[in-house]
């Protein structure tokens, strides 16, 4: 299966509100609009524009990982569709993994990731990096992960009334024709280590 990355890039847009375009890759958040979130002993810098539920889901994700793979310490983990990276930084900050990569299509959210990485405690310096991607195909094949997690957009906005009527064209929620998921599943194998696992959080009523 081949999913054209330029089609995925076209999904990275949103509405104009009060003549301001919020979903533009060139947008730089104001420093005072960031707010800190605790992720173990890491401070994650978040922003209302980037919050897609990761701060609520992160602890659940950690618990699920510990239940499914008790006692396992992952060497290299990735949070795909990371936004500001709360889930990934929580896994790093609580010792679930030794290294974390954050990857997202939305460049402004990765500016929050950069801010978090710049302020990591000394013991985590060199243990976190990020990729600005159009899809999983953009991750170099040389990068191997034994854990990939994600809380991606999980409604097909073409037919889901909640997205159509309430979250119209919100890139945090909608995956038109499930192309984002299709691209992931078509390309993720090249980046999984032989014992690697993939865990996604999805809506039960999607």
**CB of 151 closer than 8 Å to CB of 81:** yes
**Cα–Cα distance, 45 to 52 (Å, whole number):** 14
pLDDT at 60 over 90: no
What would the pLDDT profile of 94-104 be if each residue is shown by its tens digit?
Answer: 999 999 999 99
pLDDT of residue 19: 39
pLDDT of residue 6: 45
What would the pLDDT profile of 115-172 be if each residue is shown by its tens digit?
Answer: 999 999 999 999 999 999 989 999 999 999 999 999 887 766 655 555 545 444 455 6
**Cα–Cα distance, 203 to 201 (Å, whole number):** 7
């Amino acid at each position: 299966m081949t999913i054209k990355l330029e089609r995925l890039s076209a999904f990275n847009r949103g509405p104009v509100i009060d003549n301001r375009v919020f979903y533009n890759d060139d947008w730089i958040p104001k420093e005072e609009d960031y707010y800190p979130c605790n992720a173990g002993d890491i401070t994650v810098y978040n922003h209302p524009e980037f919050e897609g539920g990761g701060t609520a889901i992160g602890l659940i994700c950690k618990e699920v990982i510990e239940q499914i793979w008790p006692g396992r310490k992952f060497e290299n983990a990735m949070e795909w569709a990371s936004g500001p990276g709360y889930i990934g930084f929580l896994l790093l900050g609580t010792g679930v993994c030794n290294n974390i990569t954050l990857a997202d299509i939305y460049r402004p959210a990765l500016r929050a990731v950069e801010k978090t990485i710049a302020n990591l405690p000394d013991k985590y310096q060199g243990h976190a990096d990020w990729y600005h991607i159009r899809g999983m195909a953009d991750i170099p094949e040389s990068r191997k992960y034994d854990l990939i997690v994600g809380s991606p957009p999980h409604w097909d906005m073409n037919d889901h009334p909640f997205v159509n009527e309430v979250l119209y064209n919100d890139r945090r929620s909608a995956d038109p024709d499930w192309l984002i998921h299709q691209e992931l599943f078509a390309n993720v194998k090249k980046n999984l280590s032989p014992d690697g696992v993939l865990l996604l959080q999805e809506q039960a009523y999607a």
